[in-house]
Structure 1
Amino acid sequence: MGKVVGIRFRNGGKVYHFDPADMEVKKGDFVIVHTEQGVGLGEVVEGPFPGNEKVHPKELKKIQRLATADEIHTYSENLRSEEEAGKYCLERIQVHQLPMNLVDVEYLFDRSKIIFYFTADGRVDFRELVKDLVRRFRTRVELRQIGVRNQAKMVGGLGICGRPLCCATFLKNFHPVSIKMAKEQNLSLNPSKISGACGRLMCCLQYEYDTYCALKKGMPKMGKKIETPEGRGKVIRQNLIDRRVTVLLESGQEIELEIDASEPRKKKDK
């Protein structure tokens, strides 16, 4: 398999992989490709790098050519038009008093269609809104409802870690995240501590989940009663990285026990 490049068509959008063929392209180049929605202009954000048959299909779509200065100018004009369309759409949403939140606006490169992305708690009757938008922009109009995770990806921002949101920077796809992942990593189950900007469980909970599951193998579970050199006790805390557990003995004494060692270490008095 040959080289592969990753192309993004919108800020914070999904990265799509294409075959550069014999073209010399690099990060930051704008290129013209054929997509399911027609001709598209995108920015090279990954590669080129060797393709992986386990990840990429055998026949990737090829890059047609580098974008011209005029096409890049058209792309910039589309971005300005999107901003104006967003303001008008917000105005009409208020006029019709629709329970929806406009997130983003996207013009196709050839301006054959304009897409309005929005979030809402349920179904919204936006037929009158569509009529207003079609009369104003004289092109095909699509209103596409998205989830709150996609909203965070499009809008961007900073996480509680102080860094830009993973979904808006490098995450290509969303993966299922469960409360079990937080429990396995002994994290606080306080919603404000484990929820992202979207209000859902943070995507980063899955990053080290497999590692913690592997570290827990062979470790006594929380609450389990075990025999120690100093007597029988119950596991009350775990330190997976150091492979130590804190055991509360029947005598009321707490000791730290290294799982791979036979000698316990008494817990220091505070």
Structure 2
Amino acid sequence: MSSVIGVRFSEVGKIYYFDPGNLEIEMGDKVVVETVRGVEFGEVVLAPREMTEKEIVKPLKKVVKKADEKDFKKLEKNKKRQKEAFDICTEKIGKHKMDMKLIDVEYTFDGGKIIFYFTAEGRVDFRELVKELASVFKTRIELRQIGVRDEAKKIGGLGPCGRPCCCSAFLGDFQPVSIKMAKDQNLSLSPTKISGLCGRLMCCLNYEQEHYHQMRKKLPRVGAIVMTCDGEACVIDTNALTEKIRAKRILPDGTFEIREYDLADIKVNRNKRPGAPAPAEEEAASDEEIKNLLKD
């Protein structure tokens, strides 16, 4: 077991673990640490805790020191330099007529490297641009191409729901999202309805997926025959969030009635139509099919 702290280098970024050593560090403290990119300034978001060797990514570097007033002034100076570097790089990109879009600029805390983040549709030959930037800033230059999801995370904005993008508001890391999640949740498969600002599937599709996955094991499938307080009925729709179903049943006069039932108040008739396809794979049964099923 090792004592570690969790440090974040941006407001909504990935958490990295460091060895606090003999320093008394609490959550919320600002620290200076050594990383593969150089010396960095970060905030402690996880208080000291014991973790197993398997949970830690080696090598575990030590915290250099707790940040002091001098470090805060240096951080502010770097932020001003980043804005200047952004303007200069944008000008150079326009000068070379390069098909790329500058998104963000980061100075390492010690000023030993400047990282320029950009997006482009394909590969970009930026060797001449790097040479020019190195001659201007007299330090190491790195140009890093990022994807559209990373662009949305850095720039931010309002999603289709009217709230700030999850990736720029609180998501430390991206989770896999698939079209199957939209199908499982019975959502519209129109790209405009399930895509975020980045043009990719919305991250929030992943939030309720586990609940839908568990409820699909409990809810009867569309077309299944269930026993309700009113008698046998055929399931035409299910709602995993409310744990309710809508079912159609035959009335004595031969007409049909559609009612909503709680999952706890029904019993699936296993002897009739077992293993019917899922809602995303089959349309609701017709009135004639339901009549035949209920008469079996």
4+ long deviations beyond 6 Å: none
User: Quick one: structure 1 residues 201 and 51, their matched pair in 2 at CA, closer, same or farther if it must change by over 3 Å?
Assistant: farther
Counterparts of 1:84-99 in structure 2, within 5 Å, are 84-99=84-99
User: Quick one: structure 1 residues 70 and 243, their matched pair in 2 at CA, closer, same or farther if it must change by over 3 Å?
Assistant: closer
Residue of structure 1 equivalent to 2:225:
226
Secondary structure at 2:39 match in 1 = strand
Secondary structure at 1:260 match in 2 = helix
| 1:210, distance to aligned residue in structure 2 (A) | 0.8
CA-to-aligned-CA distance 1:53-87 (integer Å, 9 cap, x gap): 36435873221211232222222211111110101
Indicate the RMSD between aligned Cα atoms, in angstroms.
2.6
Q: TM-score, structure 2 length as denominator?
A: 0.78
Matched, 1:74 2:74: yes
CA distance in 1, matches of 2:55, 2:161: 30
| 1:3, distance to aligned residue in structure 2 (A) | 4.4
- Percentage of matched positions with identical amino acids: 48
| 1:227, distance to aligned residue in structure 2 (A) | 5.1
Residue of structure 1 equivalent to 2:13:
13
| 1:114, distance to aligned residue in structure 2 (A) | 1.1
CA contact (8 A) 2:182 2:205 kept: yes
Counterparts of 1:99-110 in structure 2, within 5 Å, are 99-110=99-110
The structure with more radius of gyration = 2
Residues paired across the two proteins, number: 261
Residue of structure 2 equivalent to 1:267:
none
Q: Which runs of 5+ in 1 are unaligned?
A: 265-270
CA contact (8 A) 1:153 1:167 kept: yes
Counterparts of 1:10-159 in structure 2, within 5 Å, are 10-44=10-44, 46-53=45-52, 55-57=55-57, 60-159=60-159
CA distance in 1, matches of 2:145, 2:232: 61
Q: TM-score, structure 1 length as denominator?
A: 0.85
CA distance in 2, matches of 1:177, 1:214: 18
Residue of structure 2 equivalent to 1:246:
246
CA distance in 1, matches of 2:10, 2:224: 55
| 1:208, distance to aligned residue in structure 2 (A) | 1.5
Residue of structure 1 equivalent to 2:203:
203
CA contact (8 A) 1:105 1:115 kept: yes
| 1:34, distance to aligned residue in structure 2 (A) | 1.2
Residue of structure 1 equivalent to 2:260:
256
| 1:2, distance to aligned residue in structure 2 (A) | 5.0
CA distance in 2, matches of 1:26, 1:169: 23
CA contact (8 A) 1:12 1:154 kept: no
Q: Which runs of 5+ in 2 are unaligned?
A: 269-296
Q: Please, which moves more after superposition, 242-251 or 92-101?
A: 242-251
CA distance in 2, matches of 1:131, 1:59: 33
